Structure 1
């Protein structure tokens, strides 16, 4: 112990010259570098084999005879391959960040396919940014940037068409589609609630966000979907301890009917004329009969 401590004391200036003092500090720094256990704050460089990640991705899903078929792709990405490729093409055309570029070392960066794949993987499965580092060879920071840029770009591209309330023309198309597919005239959507786990819920909120049939606190999402999965209404945030009818009473779904701005379309039910269509909901003990709740005069 005494020998170790003696290394950190300067030599006696009366015995050694200034040159020997400089050599002493150089030797001390060299010994510290040799004894470094990896706790240094210096950034460690890791070589990302981007080309290998792209080739693996292509071989799994996007070549002529891929390793995984269409059903596996839909299960893992929560969408069809055709829709996925359209999204890749749209974001690449509208945001230069998703375009393949050359870095400062004259090496190709990540391809648009890799960037969009990992962004959708995080959204579809809730994966952590560094979970597929060994598969796509993408660092955690780049994965986070992929998700941020992807969400911003998708909202910019598709918001004018999809993130809006349906117009009179949209309502007519919805009526025709549901009548043809489900044989239910004047139905303009399917209403349901789903639950999302809130694992990091603060302790003071756990009581109102817990339910007996769930292990973790949950947050409820109420949404209306069309036959082609157009979610034109979403209301998220009510505590999970509530039931579906309580969420319906809080949601702004019928706000346009209250202020008189909703599209009108006449429909007869049991020889009674209604000015609006109706929503299809799953019947349970919490719901009154369907026509009493959802038909809007």
Structure 2
């Protein structure tokens, strides 16, 4: 590298004399010339080795040859071939779903976003397969692991794994939000009422329930309002779920310092009834006709016509039977909330 005097040459006498003569009548020009001279003097005093460290060329990223083809073959052999190594229960435990559902979602994602379609790179070599990309995204969601955790098995680098995760989540939200994240329509209401009648509760639309979701990375300035009775920072999730684990109502934003009643005051669960948008619920109990459904709830909720609380201390046979049946209905929403344990990233 050139010496410091060559890297930052001082202005020569001709230029300095000409500039000084031109700035004799201009005091601002004299100040600027003085600053330039001081700058060049400081830069010439810098050691050459320090200049080399500042302006050194960044090293190229190291290339790692990953056996993507071998990884795809091993993944198919382990889980997807006809005589695969691991049985279906192993697949369900490790991918949190049945293999048939995995393949169904895979085909839908490929049709929605061609990022999951296997392509060739600039050298003509095949890239990651669609199964490798989706398997990476699903396992990260299931175990909340680092992005490069499956590099050794699936042969996928960290940046590509993050891209797969984002593309998969965006595709799922775009494809299934309209179908599943919506209030029940008339057909859904009829199905919910039929399920309730089979369980001894005519007109029941589900069980409303609140749980506290721990927020590990809660900002310090918010911890006072988000600390619940357990002493941990939480967010409250209000949800209603049916027997088939369809969560058709979810309200998730209230701080953990609120109880179920406060959450209900801010919730939109009854907006359909208030605005007259919810389809009518027709059922008969003891000869009386009703046109509005109700929800099972805990004893903390208010005594509204749309809420049916449990009996806290049943004594008679009828009361014990009612409390037992309602507890069975409560298990529906509790089973749905097990998703927090099933998908660790949540």
TM-score of Structure 1 vs Structure 2, range by shorter chain: 0.7 to 0.9
SS of 1:224's equivalent in the other structure is strand
8 A contact 1:268–1:274 mirrored in 2: yes
Q: Match of 1:277?
A: 293
Q: How far, CA to CA, are the matches of 2:143 and 2:296 in structure 1?
A: 28
**Higher radius of gyration, 1 or 2:** 2
Q: How far, CA to CA, are the matches of 1:52 and 1:218 in structure 2?
A: 44
Q: 1:184 aligns with which of 201, 205, 219?
A: 201
Displacement of 1:279 in angstroms is 2.4
8 A contact 2:281–2:293 mirrored in 1: yes
1:53 aligns with 2:67: no
Q: Aligned runs of 1:188-267 on 2, under 5 Å?
A: 188-213=205-230, 216-267=232-283
Q: How far, CA to CA, are the matches of 1:191 and 1:53 in structure 2?
A: 45
Q: 1:293 aligns with which of 307, 323, 337?
A: 307
What is the TM-score of this pair, normalised by structure 1?
0.76
Structure 1 unaligned blocks of 5 or more: 1-6, 12-27
8 A contact 1:243–1:286 mirrored in 2: no
**In structure 2, do the counterparts of structure 1 residues 177 and 62 end up closer, same or farther at CA, with 3 Å as the change threshold?**
farther
8 A contact 1:224–1:233 mirrored in 2: yes
Displacement of 1:102 in angstroms is 1.0
Q: 2:112 aligns with which of 90, 94, 100?
A: 94
Q: Match of 2:333?
A: none
Q: Aligned runs of 1:65-214 on 2, under 5 Å?
A: 65-180=83-198, 182-213=199-230
Task: Number of aligned residue pairs: give it.
Answer: 264
SS of 2:253's equivalent in the other structure is strand
Displacement of 1:203 in angstroms is 0.5
**In structure 2, do the counterparts of structure 1 residues 51 and 237 end up closer, same or farther at CA, with 3 Å as the change threshold?**
same
Q: How far, CA to CA, are the matches of 2:123 and 2:142 in structure 1?
A: 34
What is the TM-score of this pair, normalised by structure 2?
0.66
Displacement of 1:291 in angstroms is 6.2
Q: How far, CA to CA, are the matches of 1:190 and 1:55 in structure 2?
A: 46
Displacement of 1:235 in angstroms is 1.1
Indicate the larger mover: 232-241 or 121-130.
121-130
Displacement of 1:288 in angstroms is 5.0
Structure 2 unaligned blocks of 5 or more: 6-47, 310-346
Give the root-mean-square deviation of aligned CA atoms.
Answer: 3.2
What do residues 228-256 of structure 1 show as CA deviations (whole Å, max 9, x unaligned)?
33222221111122233332222111111
> Which protein has greater RCO, CA pairs closer than 8 Å, 6+ apart?
2
Displacement of 1:264 in angstroms is 0.5
SS of 2:244's equivalent in the other structure is coil
